[in-house]
Amino acid sequence: MDPLTIAAAAGMRARLESLSLVANNLANTSAPGFKADRESFSLYLSEETKSAQQDGTGVAQPFLPVVESQWTDTTQGELRGTGNMNDIALSGKGFFQTTGPEGPLFTRDGRFSVTSTGKLVTQSGLEFASESGQPFQLDPALSVSVDADGTVRQQGMEAGRLKVVDWAAGTPSAKKSGGYFQLDPRSTNALQPATAQLRQGYQEQSNLAPAEGSVRLIEIMRQFEALNKAAQIGGDMNRYVVEDVARVTA
C-alpha cells in the first residue's frame, strides 16, 4: 500500500473515532450538567517502520494521525432558571457527592426528590451524601429549601448540608452512565470542599451547545469525505501503474 493511501486510511479511522465521540455529545446536549468529551490527536509511527528505516531495509513511511486520548471537558455550562425548587445548580467548580452501589459517585446534575421514606435522592435514585456522613431524613410532605452553602432546610429547620466536593486537576476519573463520575478509591482521600455556590430553582445545561456540536459534526464529515477521495486517488494511481506503466508493448 502506498504512503498516500496509508495516510488517508489512518485519517479516516481517526475521523470515525471523533464522529462517534461528537455524536454521543450531541445526544446528551439536553442532559442537565452533561460534560462533553473531547479528543487529543497525535502522530504515530510504528516501531517496525522505525527499525526498518534505521536498518535501511524499509521504505520511509509518513507519520500517521491517531486519536491519542479522550478527555472530559468539565467547564461549567449555562445556568438556566426553571422555577422548580427541586432543581439545584452549582455555580463554580465542584460536584455533588452521591452514594453509589460500589462507592461514591459525583455529578453536576442537581435534580432531586424526596422518597416516601425521607431520603434525598437524584433522578436515578442515588442518595445525596451529607457533610456529616449521615443520610438525610426528610418529610416527603414538606417542601425543601437549599441555601447557597448547601444547607438543606424544611420549615426553616436545618436537616443537614449537601456534600459538594472537588478534586485536583489531572486526577483520573471515569465517566459513568447518567452523568456520574467515579474516582479511583485512592483519589477519594484527597477530595476537598468545593467553592461552588448552590442555586435552587436552576439547572446547569450541557457545556456543549447543540450548534457547536452540529458544526463539529459537519466538519468531521467533510474531512472524512476529503480523505476518502484521497484514498480513491491513491487507488487509481496504483491501478494506473499496474495496468498502463508496467504494460509490455510489442
Task: Give bridge partners of residue 192 from the DSSP assignment.
Answer: 166
To the nearest 5 percent, what fractions of the chain are helix, strand and coil?
Answer: 30, 30, 40
For helices 210-240 and 3-27, the axis angle rounded to 10 degrees is: 160
pTM equals: 0.77
The percentage of residues in the chain with a pLDDT greater than 90, rounded to a whole number, is 47
Say how far apart CA 160 and CA 135 lie, in whole Å: 9
Residue 39, all three cell numbers: 479528543
Q: What are the pLDDT digits (tens) for 132-179?
A: 999 999 999 999 999 999 999 999 999 999 999 999 888 888 899 889
Spatial separation of the C-alpha atoms in residues 107 and 164, rounded to whole Å: 10
Q: In terms of pLDDT, which residue wins out, 12 or 2?
A: 12
Query: CA angle, corner 233, sides to 230 and 239, nearest 5?
Result: 145
- Band (pLDDT 50/70/90 cuts) for residue 1 is low
Tens of pLDDT, residues 34-84: 999 887 766 655 555 556 556 665 555 566 666 666 788 889 999 999 999
Cβ(187)–Cβ(167) below 8 Å: yes
Provide CB contacts within 8 A for 163, sequence distance 6+.
96, 97, 128, 129, 130, 131, 150
Using one digit for the tens of pLDDT, what is the confidence trace for 84-129?
A: 999 999 999 999 999 999 899 999 999 999 999 999 999 999 999 9
